[in-house]
């Protein structure tokens, strides 16, 4: 599960880089301003995840990006399901946005 979480974090970082590059109208990293490069570096440094019994919380800076189900004993979801954040401490339990163990999911840097 650790490898899949690392891949999820890298996918989120990549989406932020792609978004920043598009918004800046840059053609590659070399064309980005120093401000853009600083923002990317800060985003990459501050994205973390915390493993708990039931969920893994993914945090970008001071915002919850989403949650990943970390148990086989959930009545509605499978282990590895990506859930949108309903708030700081809990996921939205309406439907999964993908599964990190099965792959094939898409992510946005703004949230699950």
Is residue 89 situated within a structural domain? no
What are the pLDDT digits (tens) for 11-35?
999 999 989 888 767 666 667 888 9
For residue 106, being part of any structural domain is answered with no
Kindly state whether residue 10 falls inside one of the protein's structural domains.
yes
Domain-located, residue 107: no
Residue 111 in any domain: the answer is no
DSSP the chain: -HHHHHHHHHHHHHHHHHHHHHHHT-SSGGGS-HHHHHHHHHHHHHEEEEE-SSEEEEEETTEEEEEEE--S--SS--TTBEEEBSSSS-B--S--S-BTTT-----BTTB-
| Whole-number pLDDT of residue 33 | 87
Confidence (pLDDT) at 50: 96
For residues 85-103, average pLDDT: 96
Per residue in 47-93, pLDDT tens? 999 999 999 999 998 899 999 999 999 999 999 999 999 999 999 99
Count of structural domains within the chain: 1
* pLDDT for 69: 98
The answer to whether residue 78 is domain-embedded is: yes
Instruction: Write down the residue that tokens 């163990």 correspond to.
Output: 101
Between 25 and 38, the higher pLDDT residue = 38
Domain containing 17 equals: 2-84
pTM score, whole prediction = 0.90
Average pLDDT over residues 35-56: 95
Q: In this structure, is residue 80 part of a structural domain?
A: yes
């Amino acid at each position: 599960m650790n490898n899949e979480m690392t891949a999820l974090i890298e996918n989120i970082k990549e989406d932020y880089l792609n978004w920043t590059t598009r918004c800046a109208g840059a053609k590659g990293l070399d064309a980005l301003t120093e401000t853009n490069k600083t923002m990317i570096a800060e985003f990459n440094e501050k994205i973390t995840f915390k493993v708990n019994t039931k969920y893994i919380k993914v945090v970008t800076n001071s915002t919850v990006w989403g949650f990943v189900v970390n148990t086989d004993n959930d009545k509605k979801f499978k282990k590895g399901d990506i859930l949108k954040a309903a708030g700081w401490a809990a996921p939205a339990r309406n439907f999964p946005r993908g599964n990190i163990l099965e792959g094939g999911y898409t992510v946005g840097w703004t949230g699950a």
